[in-house]
Amino acid sequence: MKLSVVVIIKDRLSIRQIGAVLANAVNMKTRPVCVYGSDHIPENAVSSSLLSDCLACNIFQMADGRVKGPVYAGNEPGQIFCRCMGGPAWFGYKEFDPRLPGLMSTGSEATKQAGKHLKENENIACETCRAVEEIKPLGRYVVMSRCDDLQEDPGVKCIVCFAGGEQIRDLCALAHFSSHDVFNLISA
């Protein structure tokens, strides 16, 4: 989601302040998490794979305060990036695993894997992966940190928010803060 309000205030507010403004504006129960890249492991950072094998779960636990950050993930030999086979590809570290379309759709007889039925069939899942094109990694490591833990902007590329229906509706309204275009600012 593009947040117009963030673009407007980024020049005037710190990342910490932007996170607080977003959380307070929509009454979030969790805190926004920043994502950025780094070629070095930040001081006091914990490898995501040491917390659990699910990167998304670790980000959520950071947002709700159960995990203290920063947390990092990278394509390190011998370390699990994430239990999702598409994870390394979505972060730009590898090509999509050829088994992914079968997993995303109705399953694969060849690999004897059950499907998640997220796509109608394996052909549509393949087309989806091809449509993504090249994803460039943010750095040797992807780093996640709560906005309120950052003293300065290390090159934040996105802010992840976890919210309920009412808060998501209000975040979507904020995306349209300074725009008359009600159709093209939000994508899912």
pLDDT in tens, 122-135: 899 999 999 988 89
Q: What is the mean pLDDT of residues 35-50?
A: 93
Q: Of 170 and 1, which is predicted with more confidence?
A: 170
Q: Give the per-residue pLDDT at 8.
A: 47
Q: Is the pLDDT of residue 183 over 60?
A: yes
Every domain of the chain and the residues it spans = 1-82+137-188, 94-136
Contact of 185 with 2, CB cutoff 8 Å:
yes
Q: What is the mean pLDDT of residues 23-36?
A: 94
Q: Is the pLDDT of residue 9 over 80?
A: no
**pTM here?**
0.82
The mean pLDDT of the chain is: 87
Query: Which range among 19-28, 79-88, 103-112 has the greatest average pLDDT?
Result: 19-28
Residues 42-55 as b/e (b if ≥16 CB within 10 A, e otherwise) read beebbbbbebeebb
Q: Is the pLDDT of residue 7 over 70?
A: no
DSSP letters spanning 82-96: -SSTTHHHHTTSSPP
Query: Which range among 29-38, 81-90, 105-114 has the greatest average pLDDT?
Result: 29-38
Q: Give the per-residue pLDDT at 111.
A: 67
Q: Of 94 and 6, which is predicted with more confidence?
A: 94
Q: Give the per-residue pLDDT at 178.
A: 84
Could you give the strand order of the β-sheet that contains 141-146, starting from the edge strand earlier in sequence?
46-47, 71-74, 141-146, 33-38, 158-160
The distance from CA 121 to its chain's CA centroid, rounded to whole angstroms, is 26
pLDDT in tens, 101-121: 988 998 877 667 788 899 999
Contact of 109 with 184, CB cutoff 8 Å:
no
Could you tell me the pLDDT band of residue 10, with boundaries at 50, 70 and 90? low
DSSP letters spanning 83-148: SSTTHHHHTTSSPPPTTHHHHHTTEETTTTEE---SSSSHHHHHHHHHHH-----SSSEEEEEEGG
Q: Closest Cα to residue 27, out of 186, 174, 178?
A: 174
Q: Is the pLDDT of residue 61 over 70?
A: yes
Find the distance separating the first CA and the last CA of the chain, reported in whole Å: 8
Q: Is the pLDDT of residue 140 over 90?
A: yes
